[in-house]
Structure 1
Amino acid sequence: MWKRIRTQVSLNRWGWGVQFQAQPEGPQEPIALCICNANHLMLKGKRVIVTGASTGIGEQMAYHLAQMGAHVLVTARTEAKLQKVRTKHTHTGHICCVSLCPANGLQSCPAAPRGLDMLILNHVGNSYFNYFDGDVGHVQKLLKINFLSYVAMTVSALPRLKDSGGSIVVVSSMAGKAGFPFTAPYSATKFALDGFFSSLRQELIIQKVDVSITLCVLGFIDTAASDVVLVSPAPKEECALEIIKGGALRQREIYYKYAATKIPLLIRDWAPELLDYLIRRSYNVENLKKN
């Protein structure tokens, strides 16, 4: 007969973990053990869509979510890239791969789940890393992929997310919070995401709609390493976990890595010209000219 339960609380990379040890009367050793990580359990059985999941952070998120027991639908715009994901993760039964144009929303995807708990918007269009060349057409194309398709996916997913009290996770960048050189078209799309989803969050709260919006402000990640950037890239595997954690905990914003993102933004509020200077110092412009 159980008389005592000893509880031990610890903090790990996912948050608070709780360990329960059930003990019988007397001096005997514990004979029953259950380890519970709250954030992992929050995702078990959840229905999640991850866009732009054929490579990089998106692929890592899909893999981590499936390991946690979530039912994951991953999308990409090209079938060839999705086939690589299928091949690499054939042992994972919780991942379904679908070729999808995000601009068309979920209506064009018969495989989309009827219910949805989390929408992770992560896809991004290709852009150059150089001085702005005045190509307005490229800016328009990038806005369609990086911004308008996020809006379309959100509109089509909102009815399902309202039913489940779900979450929207928007992957953005430091380039959507501060001015970075050589990324003008890309930065424009990321600033647009911040404005739209911050406004939408306010409207959902006013309407008492239980759908959270998490904006992910990422620094330099090792998916796009360049000899022009002097800052060491952060690992995409850990970044993917932080994004998932932020969505699961329904956080307003997450910053990864924190010291490389949040602290510079605090400097911006007090000394914007200093931050601009520090950003310029983080580039090897001579290498850019060689490229």
Structure 2
Amino acid sequence: MADSILLVTGTSSGIGLATAVEAARRGFRVVATMRDTGKAGPLREAAAVAGVEVDVQPLDVTDQESIDACLAYVRSTYGGLDALVNNAGAGHLGTIEVESVAAVRAVMEVNFFGVVATTKAALPLLRERGGRLLTVTSVGGVVGQPFNEAYCAAKFAVEGFMESLTPVAASLGVRVTVVEPGAVRTEFVASVQAQEALPVAGTPYAPLLDAYLVRTAAAFDPSAAQTAEGVAEVIVATLLDPAPAARVQTSEAARRFAGVKLSDLDGAHVQHVTAHWVAGD
């Protein structure tokens, strides 16, 4: 993969950082992007430890000028693009009665429209080389989860967008894959921080949220959750796969959880499972 150019979004931490380093280790020439390159220290340090180099560039997926500038840089510097990993996104906890519609729109802007805009800008380059388009979604893009209404809505939208794009892109030589992690150790802290501003105290939602957080803390415990490095290994293996699947889960736990929905035609099983998340049992 020494001549393959890979662009990864959201590489300042977590899955994006681990993917950039793992891909470089496997031979990709990696353009590692993030909204604020002043936060590139952990990525540069991880790359140095791994003995690889990555090209750190600014990219804000909610800013069209930033997207266009980054893709223009890739074309002018490397002559083209072989693969894009849409990873940039943000967690969010909330429920609609106690949060604003503006907050929901903001979640969609980052997690859905950011993917759409970056994909649109990259497709001409990917078509030229018969490239790969890989998007990190979530099992939350398959199974709706309590207090994740906006986040799951955005991830559902990404899944629908990519599933619909897949046959169209394939007819022009671009393979499309969505990668669905389950609980990953790097993500829960951000979700809890988002929750701190959720005004549920004194409302009927307070005990439901408490029960949800107890259950979710257990799922994201280091002994149970997957590492970002584990997810990155799956992502890079998928990029290297000559015939990748359209949908890939990153762990056995993620496969089981996604299977709850994909084999649940009337939705009853999903509701049975997630109802317990807020019941405190």
- TM-score of the superposition, structure 1-length normalised? 0.75
Aligned counterpart, 1:58? 16
Relative contact order higher in (CA < 8 Å, ≥ 6 apart): 2
1:172 alignment partner in structure 2: 137
Equivalent positions of 1:221-232 (< 5 A) are 221-225=184-188, 227-229=214-216, 230-231=218-219, 232=224
- Equivalence for 1:255: 249
Deviations 1:155-180 (A, max 9, x none): 11111111110000011011111221
The alpha-carbon distance between structure 1 residues 224 and 124, as it changes in their structure 2 partners (threshold 3 A), is: same
Give 1:93 shift: 4.1
Matches within 5 A, 1:130-141: 130-132=94-96, 133-141=98-106
Q: What's 1:278 paired with?
A: 273
Native 8 Å contact 1:118 1:167 kept in 2: yes
Equivalent of 2:237 in 226, 236, 245? 245
Cα distance in 1 between the residues matched to 2:251 and 2:46: 27
Match runs of 1:159-198 below 5 Å: 159-198=124-163
* Match in the other structure for 2:89: 124
Matched residue, 2:203? none
For 2:165, the equivalent position in structure 1 comes to: 200
For 1:52 and 1:285, the matched residues in 2 are separated by 35
DSSP 3-state at the match of 1:147:
helix
- Are 1:169 and 1:216, in contact at CA under 8 Å, matched by a contact in 2? yes
Structure 1 unaligned regions, length at least 5: 1-42, 287-291
Q: Is 1:264 the counterpart of 2:245 in the alignment?
A: no
Q: Which has the higher helix share?
A: 2
Match of 1:235 among 203, 227, 230: 227
1:278 deviates by 1.7
* Structure-1 separation of matches of 2:88 and 2:43: 15
Residues in 1 aligned to 2:251 and 2:111: alpha-carbon distance in whole angstroms: 22
- Secondary structure at 1:124's aligned position in 2? coil
Cα 1:203–1:88 shift into 2, 3 Å = closer
Per-residue Cα deviation, 1:161-208 (whole angstroms, up to 9, x for no partner): 111100000110111112211111111111111111111122234xx3
Equivalent residue number for residue 155 of structure 1: 120
CA contact (8 A) 1:66 1:72 kept: yes
Q: 8 Å contact 1:75–1:100 — kept in the other structure? A: yes
* Mapped contact 1:69–1:94 kept (Cα < 8 A): no
Query: Retained in 2: the 8 A contact 1:117–1:166?
Result: yes
Output the aligned Cα RMSD: 2.3
Q: Please tell me whether the aligned partners of residues 139 and 258 of structure 2 are also in contact (alpha carbons under 8 angstroms).
A: no
Map Cα deviations across residues 39-66 of structure 1 (whole Å, 9 max, x no partner): xxxx343110010111001111111111
Pairs aligned (count): 240
239-248 vs 254-263, which moves further: 254-263
Match of 1:75 in 2: 33
Distance 2:177 2:262 in 1: 19
Q: Is the 8 A contact 2:37 2:56 kept in 1?
A: no
Amino acid at match of 1:107: D
CA contact (8 A) 2:25 2:52 kept: no
How many Å separate the matches in 2 of 1:166 and 1:95?
20
Determine if contact 1:49/1:74 at 8 Å carries over to the other structure. yes
**Does 90-99 or 233-242 show the bigger shift?**
90-99
- State the SS of the aligned residue for 2:85: strand
Given that 2:179 and 2:235 are in contact with CA atoms closer than 8 Å, whether structure 1 keeps it comes out as yes
* SS of residue in 2 equivalent to 1:74: strand
In structure 2, runs of 5+ residues without a counterpart are: 189-212
CA distance in 2, matches of 1:179, 1:106: 30
In 2, the alpha carbon distance for the partners of 1:121 and 1:175 equals 16
Post-superposition offset of 1:247: 2.9
Structure 2 counterpart of 1:102: 61
CA distance, structure 2, for counterparts of residue 210 and residue 228 of structure 1: 43
Cα contact 1:168–1:214 (8 A) shared by 2: yes
